[in-house]
């Protein structure tokens, strides 16, 4: 059973590291945050499955050192992912605010142009 959990942890740790790397500080600051469709949903499902697997491992049963290490890495990766996703959320919120301002300016320009046309 522990070997199944270890394999699942290796896979999910690799996936989290890949996503964290993809969402590096540079891409967030450049406003180039992009997710393939369904990537976050798939990761969310995998995290839920991994949590269930970890919960099945008996707390009283001695854990293999590699399992302990993999769980530790998993926890560290989750903390990193949480931090990166928070930065992504902030970045997207700023972009959304800028888009709203741009839309307001565009609407103002359209209104001015329409008023100008009506006076001609």
Which residues in the chain show pLDDT less than 50? none
Residue 116 near residue 61 (C-beta atoms within 8 A): no
Residue 59 near residue 71 (C-beta atoms within 8 A): no
CA distance 40 to 24: 16
| DSSP three-state, residue 71 | helix
Mean pLDDT of the chain: 87
How confident is the model at residue 97, as a pLDDT?
Answer: 94
């Amino acid at each position: 059973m522990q070997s199944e959990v270890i394999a699942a942890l290796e896979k999910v740790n690799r996936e989290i590291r890949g996503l964290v790397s993809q969402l590096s500080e540079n891409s967030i600051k450049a406003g180039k945050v992009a997710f393939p469709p369904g990537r976050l949903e798939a990761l969310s499902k995998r995290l839920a499955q991994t949590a269930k697997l970890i919960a099945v491992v008996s707390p009283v049963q001695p854990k293999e050192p590699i399992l302990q290490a993999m769980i530790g890495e998993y926890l560290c990766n989750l903390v990193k992912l949480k931090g990166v996703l928070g930065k992504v959320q902030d970045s997207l919120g700023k972009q959304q605010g800028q888009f709203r301002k741009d839309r307001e300016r565009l609407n103002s320009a359209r209104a001015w142009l329409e008023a100008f046309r009506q006076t001609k």
